[in-house]
Amino acid sequence: MKEAIKVGLIGLGTVGCGVYKVLTEQSELIRKRLGIPLIVSRIADIDVDRIRPVRVPREIITTDAARIIDDPEIDIVIELMGGFEPAKTFILDAIDRGKQVVTANKALLATYGDVIFKTAEAGCVDIGFEASVGGTIPVIKTIKECLVANNIRSLYGIMNGTCNYILSRMTDGGEDFQTVLKDAQSLGFAESDPTYDIEAIDTAHKLAICLSLAYGTRVKLDDIYRQGISFISQSDIEFARELGYTIKLLAIAIDRGGAVEARIHPTMIPFDHLLSSVGSNFNAFHFVGDSAGSVFLYGQGAGMMPTASAVVSDIVDIGRDLASGIAKRVPLRSYQEREIRDISLLPIDDIVTNYYFRFSAVDRPGVLSKISGVLGLNNISIASVIQKGRRLEGAVPVVMTTHKAREKDVRQALQEIDRLDIVLDKTIIIRIEDEELI
């Protein structure tokens, strides 16, 4: 029987400090739940002198991560430095030394998960990565364990706090995208270079991880359709409201039987859906399982303490297994490794959904019939029209929503419409999730 679990932490930044804080301030609570003490043996960071929100004894901090990876006394290596290299090498080296690993590194897992999980499998090593998706929200455990009896019919997620903060402020305060982005940056809700968040790259990493667990598959990031939020204007927010919708950046996975639909884009969702009320920088995940039905998870998707909470839950989970002499109780990728296979993601051209179009048209009779004529010829049937004569930069906005239409037809129709001399600017399209969103 082990007398203590010893951990080494690489990366004493935002999340690393949170983890150290929980492990030291809640050490007694954790001992009661784990059964034996959990000891932070060593911490590695490039900068040992920086002033941090936690006080770490000088003798356990080092600039050399190898002193953790090569230490035979350390049971679990916690990688919280982020990025691809040297994080990937550190994790593979730790696995090679037979250490269990905990990481929050979604970019790394979404990109190099296959090699990392295969190596861990071969080495009979566990990897905890709860914090990589949804921060404090137990998304990974929900897919891997709580919903193990279910075929996951669909997942709709608000997976990026920065985008949700921006869209919520635009919706509630009537401000434009650039103003809110600047504010979000000064409040620490957005990075100085916000590309990763607002272009939905971060969301794609999280959706890729969810897809691989939900469907037992390898996912190529480039196969996930991704559209960011920077084109959303205040007028789209207002039209959405008029139509009974809220705009959210949704990550969507739908099992189409044989293929999975995986896409990320700003989406109009009905006011009365729970996802519509997820405000500020919160995240939410709405699963539909064939046995469970709807399951809704909500919470903080990032931040020092919420993320630390998830990291520590992995450490304690693995610590409990080590204390009981069990290894890898739950398959790393939810499915047994030999069952992992490539499945096809449905090309974006083949999706069928409802659409919102905002045309920038000249203020002249006959505009509506010309536009609706092209839509009709491309098998797109109109559900509603708003035309108010309200001018937007010289053009009159004409808003249409459609019944279910195929993306390929929509693209073809808009190409034709945007070439018409009555259309002054590129048409804005926003997909609508309505009937399928339970």
Instruction: Write down the least CB distance from residue 300 to ligand NAP, Å.
Output: 9
User: CA-to-CA distance for 127 and 314, rounded, in angstroms?
Assistant: 8
Please report, as ranges, the residues that interact with ligand NAP according to CB under 6 A: 10-16, 44-47, 65, 80-82, 86, 104-106, 131, 135, 302-303, 307
Quote the least distance from Cβ 188 to ligand NAP, whole Å. 10
Q: How far is the CB of 386 from ligand NAP (least distance, A)?
A: 39
What are the φ/ψ torsions at residue 371 (nearest 5 degrees)? -65, -45
Burial of 220 (0-12, 13-18, 19+ CB in 10 A): exposed
Between CA 76 and CA 53 the distance in angstroms is 23
In whole angstroms, give the CA distance from residue 327 to residue 258: 33
Minimal distance, residue 131 CB to ligand NAP, in Å: 5
Name which of 227, 271, 237, 107 is nearest 166 in CA terms. 237
Rounded Cα–Cα distance for residues 1 and 7 (Å): 17
Please, which residue, 15 or 396, has the CB nearer to ligand NAP?
15
Closest alpha carbon to 292 in 436, 145, 134, 151: 151
Q: Distance (Å, rounded) from C-alpha 263 to C-alpha 261?
A: 7
Q: Which residues pair with 42 in a beta bridge?
A: 8
DSSP string, 201-269: HHHHHHHHHHHHHHHTEE--GGGSEE--STT--HHHHHHHHHHTEEEEEEEEEEE-SSEEEEEEEEEEE
At 361, list the tokens: 């048209």
Non-local (6+) Cβ contacts of 32 within 8 A are none
ω into 57 cis (within 30 of 0): no
DSSP state of 355: E
> Cβ closer to ligand NAP: 45 or 121?
45
Report the Cα 23 to chain-centroid distance in Å: 26
Q: For ligand NAP, which residue has the nearest CB? A: 13
* Least gap, CB of 258 to ligand NAP (angstroms): 33
Task: Quote the least distance from Cβ 178 to ligand NAP, whole Å.
Answer: 24
Largest CA distance in the chain: 83
- Of 206, 248, 388, 426, which residue is the catalytic one? 206
Strands (DSSP E) contained in 340-395 are 341-342, 344-345, 352-361, 382-387
CB-nearer residue toward ligand NAP: 89 or 344: 89
Shortest distance in whole angstroms from residue 337 CB to ligand NAP: 24
Main-chain phi, psi angles of 54, to 5 degrees: -130, 150
Can 408 be counted among the known catalytic residues?
no
Which of 384, 427, 381 is closest to 404 using CA atoms? 381
Cβ proximity to ligand NAP: between 131 and 213 the closer is 131
* Cα–Cα dist 165/144, whole Å: 29
User: Catalytic residue positions?
Assistant: 206
